[in-house]
């Protein structure tokens, strides 16, 4: 029978050696071109993904596409912004969930995380644009009170209500 020590030693033997790690890094880096972190074989796809991400964030932030990258660079840095833009490209366009449903899921995630008030404000406005109603957003926060706890749900609901009040004033 194999002991936990033997299992650990077997697992360690499967870890890449230092020379293999170096070779993996060299292969990874050689696949990149000179344009930041895009892969040469995927440059067109990456450019298209980047454009879709710009469009998603332009809609969310209510700014022109041309200003999205600089908004990110100013607020969170260029690299974080680029990764965010690329990651947002496909998650908002597939057919599995409607924009309405996606918005409810994101608002729920932000409420349960806590400490994401700025993002929650932005996504509350976007949820309204995607057809969510005040009643749905308030019911969502109420439901989260049971599953995520009263403090986070009530804090989230206060942020949502503040943002809805701003929208109603416009």
Task: Tell me which of 1.20.1290.10, 3.20.20.70, 3.40.50.11540, 3.40.50.720 is the CATH number of domain 99-169.
Answer: 1.20.1290.10
Confidence at residue 37, expressed as pLDDT on a 0 to 100 scale: 46
Residue range(s) of every CATH 1.20.1290.10 domain in the chain: 99-169
* CA distances (Å), origin 149, targets 67, 122, 144, 154: 37, 22, 7, 9
Q: What is the pLDDT of residues 114-154, one digit of tens each?
A: 999 999 999 999 999 999 999 999 999 999 999 999 999 99
Helix runs in the chain, H state only: 4-14, 18-30, 43-61, 65-75, 78-91, 99-113, 117-129, 134-147, 150-169
Does the pLDDT value for residue 5 go beyond 80? Answer: no
Which tens digit of pLDDT belongs to each residue from 7-48?
A: 444 444 444 444 444 444 444 444 344 344 444 456 667 888
Residue with the bigger pLDDT between 31 and 102: it is 102
84 vs 20 pLDDT, higher one: 84
The model carries a pTM of: 0.68
Give ∠ CA 142-88-159 in degrees, rounded to 5: 30
Amino acid 1: pLDDT: 53
Three-state DSSP class for residue 152: helix
Q: Which residue, 111, 101, 116, 120, is CA-closest to 143?
A: 111
Taken in order 78, 80, 84, 87, the sign of the CA dihedral is positive
pLDDT (0 to 100) of residue 4: 47
pLDDT tens string 40-83: 456 667 888 899 999 989 988 889 999 999 999 999 999 999 99
Please tell me the distance from the alpha carbon of residue 84 to that of residue 18, in angstroms, as a whole number: 31
């Amino acid at each position: 029978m194999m002991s936990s020590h033997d299992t650990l030693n077997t697992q360690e033997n499967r870890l890449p050696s230092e020379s293999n790690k170096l070779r993996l890094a060299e292969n990874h880096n050689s696949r990149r071109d000179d344009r930041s972190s895009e892969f040469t074989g995927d440059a067109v796809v990456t450019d298209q993904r980047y454009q879709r991400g710009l469009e998603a964030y332009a809609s969310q932030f209510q700014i022109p596409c041309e200003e999205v990258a600089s908004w990110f660079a100013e607020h969170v840095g260029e690299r974080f912004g680029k990764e965010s833009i690329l990651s947002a490209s496909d998650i908002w366009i597939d057919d599995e969930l409607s924009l309405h449903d996606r918005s409810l899921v994101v608002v729920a995630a932000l409420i349960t995380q806590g400490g994401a008030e700025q993002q929650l404000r932005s996504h509350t406005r976007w949820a309204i644009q995607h057809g969510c109603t005040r009643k749905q957003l308030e019911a969502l926060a109420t439901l989260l009170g049971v599953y995520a706890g009263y403090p986070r749900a009530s804090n989230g609901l206060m942020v949502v209500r503040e943002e809805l009040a701003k929208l109603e004033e416009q």
